[in-house]
Amino acid sequence: MTAPLPSQKAMVPFVSVENMMRLVHHLGIERVLAELTDLIEEDFGRWESFDKTPRVASHSRDGVIELMPTSDGTIYGFKYVNGHPKNTAEGLQTVTAFGLLADVATGYPVLLTEMTLLTALRTAATSAMAARHLAPKGGKVMAMIGNGAQAEFQALAMKAVCGIDTVRLYDIDPRATQKTARNLEGSGLTVIPCTSSQQAIEGAAIVTTCTADKQFATILTDNMVGPGIHINAIGGDCPGKTELHKDILLRADCFVEYPPQTWIEGEIQQMDRSYPITELWQVVTGQVPGRRDERQITLFDSVGFAIEDFSALRYLRNQIVGTDFYQELDMIADPDDPRDLFGMLQRAR
């Protein structure tokens, strides 16, 4: 006997890498980044209604595999993501991801998707959202240190959301800088490749560090950082993996996503618990000020939090309605009689 065809209840919309790329091109990447920024900001604005937990991390010698769950009581989402800095030397990516949304009322999944591209988009949108509140107004120049997989997304989000028109690039590997410069040709950004971090941050209002190395690295030292800039530190996101010299933190006002996770993974793992931090959602809701004056150094100690992925999944779910940017996956077993799972298996013999 042949297996019965799966019913509609068995089907879960699935967005493949190919469809994600088609969707981004269909909408336009800057539009996606700007809309994602707004949606992440909306979800930060209702921060207290989310179920929150530090991500569940499984560390190994060469990297980490993490699960990032959250729920707003109506929808539940999680992302699977890895971070393996040595991967690129073997032709693999440092970060790959996929994720899922489910209906809280039934527990049934409602979306499964690639999230490697979506993570790059949401990380860039989160940076832009933070910079919108923290960066000096009217700044046109950003420095992008670390020119790997995330770099172009970061630059384009700062352009789309914060009005950056120039990006100064630096990476220890000049081929990464060449790649990023090539990819940003025609983007409308003036691209200036640099030969050191010091050179890259000259005149920059926003400095983004997005390097990958499993160690306490010092991408920026205190003497390099002048007053009035906004630092967006993305690459320090694991125990024992940071990018900034501690002295920078002592001079900066530090903004974080979810403190119980950031204390473990962020730049602030270098500080003791008396070090003052501000939760970014409180800036978004207007409870505390973002940038207060022109000389203040602001630091967004980004590690990546589950609510940002939830927002990205929510965005994607809305965007694919009525389109062909997804396939239906026969993912949920759906017997005619819900208690006759075994019978369904038997009948498929």
Ligand X SMILES: NC(=O)c1ccc[n+]([C@@H]2O[C@H](COP(=O)([O-])OP(=O)(O)OC[C@H]3O[C@@H](n4cnc5c(N)ncnc54)[C@H](O)[C@@H]3O)[C@@H](O)[C@H]2O)c1
Question: What is the per-residue DSSP string for 85-115?
Answer: GGGGGGT--S--EEEEEEETTT--EEEEEE-
Distance (Å, whole) CA 56 – CA 88: 24
Closest CA to 284 of 257, 304, 260: 257
CB closer to ligand X out of 150 and 278: 150
Residue 219 binds to ligand X (criterion: CB under 6 A): yes
Q: Enumerate residues 6+ apart whose C-beta is below 8 A from 151.
A: 144, 169, 176, 180, 210
Around Cβ 109, how many Cβ atoms within 10 Å? 18
Structure tokens at 23: 């969707």
Of 15 and 233, the one with the shorter C-beta distance to ligand X is: 233
Question: Does the protein bind ligand X through residue 313 (CB under 6 A)?
Answer: no
CB 342 → ligand X: shortest distance, Å?
43
Count of residues that bind ligand X according to CB under 6 A: 29
CA-CA distances (angstroms) from residue 172 to 147, 193, 204? 9, 12, 19
Question: What is the pairing mode between strands 190-193 and 166-170?
Answer: parallel
Which one among 70, 82, 113, 147 touches ligand X, defined by CB under 6 A?
147
Q: Is residue 109 a contact residue for ligand X (CB under 6 A)?
A: no
Q: What is the rounded distance in angstroms from the CA atom of residue 248 to the CA atom of residue 53?
A: 28
Nearest Cα to Cα of residue 115 among 156, 154, 66: 66
Instruction: Give the range of 6-14, 28-36, 145-153, 277-285 binding ligand X by CB under 6 A.
Output: 145-153
Q: Is the dihedral of CA 67, 326, 88, 263 positive or negative?
A: negative
- The interface mask with ligand X, positions 160-199, x = CB under 6 A, is -----------xxx--x-----------------------
48: left (phi over 0), alpha (psi -120 to 50) or beta: alpha
Shortest separation between residue 119's beta carbon and ligand X, angstroms: 6
237 classed as catalytic? yes
Among 149, 167, 256, 283, binds ligand X (CB under 6 A): 149
Which residue is catalytic, options 237, 247, 334, 336?
A: 237
Instruction: Closer to ligand X by CB, 123 or 278: give it.
Output: 123
Q: How far is the CB of 326 from ligand X (least distance, A)?
A: 24
Binding flag, residue 304, ligand X (CB under 6 A)? yes
- For residue 300, the minimal CB distance to ligand X (Å) is 9
Q: Does 54 bind ligand X (CB under 6 A)?
A: no
* Binding letters toward ligand X, positions 254-293, x by CB under 6 A: ----------------------------------------
Residue positions annotated with a catalytic role: 237
| Residues binding ligand X (CB under 6 A) | 83, 85, 88, 94-95, 119, 123, 145-150, 171-173, 176, 210-213, 217, 219, 234-235, 237, 302-304
